[in-house]
Amino acid sequence: MRSSLIPKLFSILKEEKYTFSLFNKDLFAGIVVGVLSIPMSIAYAIVSGARPEQGLYTAIIGGFFVAVLGGCRVQVAGPTGAFVLLIYATISQFGYDGLVIATLIAGILLVIMAFSKAGFIIKFIPYPVTIGFTSGLALILFVNQIPDVLGINIPNMPKDFFSKLYVLSKNLHEINIFSLIIALISVCIVVIWPKYVKKIPGSLIAIIFCSFLVFYLSFEVDIIKDKFGEIKSAFPTFQLPKFSWNKIIEVIPSSIAIALLAGMEALLAALVGDGMMSRRHRSDSELLAQGAANIFSSFFGGIPATGTIARTATCIKTGGQTPFAAIFNVLTIVIVLGIFKNYVAYIPMASLAAVIMVVAYNMSEWRVFAKLFNSPKKDIAVLLITFFLTVFVDLITAIEIGVILAMFLFISNIVNISKIDSMKQNLANDEKNRETSYGNISQDIEIFEISGPLFFAACEKFKMTLTRINRFPKVLILRLKYVNYIDASAIRALEDILHKCKKDDTILFLSGVNKDVMNIMIKTNFINKIKKENVFNHINEAIKEAQKICIPKETVKSQLEV
């Protein structure tokens, strides 16, 4: 196995001494983040349209595989807000069986990405795309919590954003004042608590406090037990999904979206962890772990899992030093699920919704969103298109269109880097640092310099520049010294130029071809078409040979003697 796929846990056990001091730090951090993970996992499962225990199963299964196989020093995995809309849409359209198949395929895609060394590619998805769908997701997530915060029971909430707001406005007379009070208390605790206590998360304190408040004061508010009944404590058994070819084809878009989201979220959390611990993660190993987490989550009744920024940061802040902290987090969830499940059932829905609202507000990054309006127009367009598609269409479409836009944006930027310039005049006029030893370069010689990658998108610019030549000369020299990459489309363009040159009795010379580009030309047989003697190491050699062709020998000889 190559080094980029070796899990961090294995490296730590092999290269470091796991001391009792590290054990204590990891244990404390694991317990704290484990207790925090329980209500958060339940909340994300509920708003995704799944059962509460399925969120816990995901935190256990996903958390374990990411801890053991992951490429991060510390990474806590489980259900996350980024998946909420995607899971809800998939369950609504294809049922839970469809979600299971989509999660399994997404896991396989992540494993393939890991072995293909695709970890670095996900990092290059443009910032406007990421902020666009993250902010759109945060807005919808925020709006979706309003019914539970206000204690309004709306059985068939419409999916359309404006229809949802309209239905909420029509039912405002049904507000449950106790639910609103619980929600406001929860928000206050989440906001104020971190100012005084750093190590224990405010969201955990808010949920525990409000649960006791509702239980002892008998507030008439919805609790988890009212909506979902008793939470199952039994550990899920291994079950294969119910496969059908039609279902697999139907869920492919969801699978791709889940894989991309899982990869981006996990690697973003890894970068946050790197910054907090001054470490470096292994992207490919992390993607492999995320793939395994989603594959096994689908086998054990879970939902999509990924690395979580908030829980990973909390684990590090409370002292977590190694992947064992994430393993202790999993063990904590298992123990609590087995022993304290009855207490979990009394968590108020209003308190969970309020905590998710705060998460959505922080996730929106509205200050960054506003700041991006100072960016170039293309970036602003990508930002707004991705945002509005997320809010008014769906997340899958937003991700697909966002990635396509990102590709076009990337290609556009690369094309701008690629240049083709006429350099004959510069060579002739350069008296101080003349690259050639000749006075006037013959009018029957044309010289063009190409710089940057020469690939399919830059080929049109290349052809257009050459067509501006009024008449084809006796010798056309293409200097490729600064071309570091060439693809099949560029080879085809060169073949077209060569064909045109032969038709017009023009000899085509190449100069300064680097080793990598030369290898591609050899493999594609272009070198044999142009002939090796027409390829030169230096521009001087090419011009010297061209002068011999275009100027009588006596003239060349006299120029050299001068």
**Average pLDDT, rounded, for the chain:** 84
Q: How many CA atoms lie within 13 A of 236 on its CB side?
A: 22
> Which pLDDT value is given to residue 439?
52
**Rounded mean pLDDT, 54-83:** 92
Cα(435)–Cα(158) distance, integer angstroms? 72
The rounded percent of the chain whose pLDDT value lies above 90 is 23
pLDDT at 493: 83
> Does position 561 have pLDDT exceeding 50, yes or no?
no
Q: What is the pLDDT of residue 233?
A: 61
Lowest mean pLDDT among 56-60, 147-151, 396-400: 396-400
Distance CA 129, CA 137 (A): 12
- What is the average per-residue pLDDT within 282-289? 91
Residue 52, phi then psi, degrees to nearest 5: -55, -45
pLDDT of residue 161: 85
pLDDT for 558: 47
Name the more confident of 231 and 267.
267
How far is residue 43's CA from residue 349's CA, in Å, rounded to a whole number?
Answer: 9
Instruction: Give the pLDDT confidence of 383-393 residue by residue, as tens digits.
Output: 899 899 988 88
**Residue 322 pLDDT level (bands cut at 50, 70, 90):** very high
Tell me which architecture the domain covering 419-561 has in CATH. Answer: 2-Layer Sandwich (3.30)
Place 473 in a pLDDT band, splitting at 50, 70 and 90: confident
Question: What are the tens digits of pLDDT across the range 74-86?
Answer: 999 999 888 888 8
pLDDT score of 479 more than 70: yes
pLDDT value for 471? 65
Domain parsing of the chain, residue ranges: 3-13+24-152+175-365, 419-561
Question: Taking the alpha carbons of 275, 277, 279, 284 in that order, is the dihedral positive or negative?
Answer: negative
Please tell me the distance from the alpha carbon of residue 398 to that of residue 396, in angstroms, as a whole number: 5
Q: For the segment 489-541, what is each residue's pLDDT rounded down to a tens digit?
A: 888 888 888 888 888 888 989 998 888 889 989 998 988 888 888 999 888 88
Q: Which of 151-155, 265-269, 304-308, 470-474 has the lowest mean pLDDT?
A: 470-474
- The residue-averaged pLDDT of 94-111 equals 93
Nearest CA among 331, 375, 295, 386 for reference residue 107: 295
Q: pLDDT higher for 460 or 201?
A: 201
What's the rounded Cα separation, in Å, for the pair 384 and 300?
38
**pTM across the whole model:** 0.71
Q: Tell me the pLDDT tens digit for each residue of 179-193.
A: 999 999 999 999 999
Question: Residue 477 CB: number of other CB atoms within 10 A?
Answer: 25
Least confident range of 240-249, 468-477, 553-562 = 553-562
Tell me the pLDDT tens digit for each residue of 421-459. Answer: 777 666 655 544 444 444 567 778 888 888 877 776 666
At 559 the pLDDT is: 46
- Asked if residue 10 has pLDDT above 50, the reply is yes
| Neighbour-count burial for 441-473, b at 16+ CB within 10 Å, e otherwise | bbebbbbbbbbbbbbebbbebbeeebeeeeebb
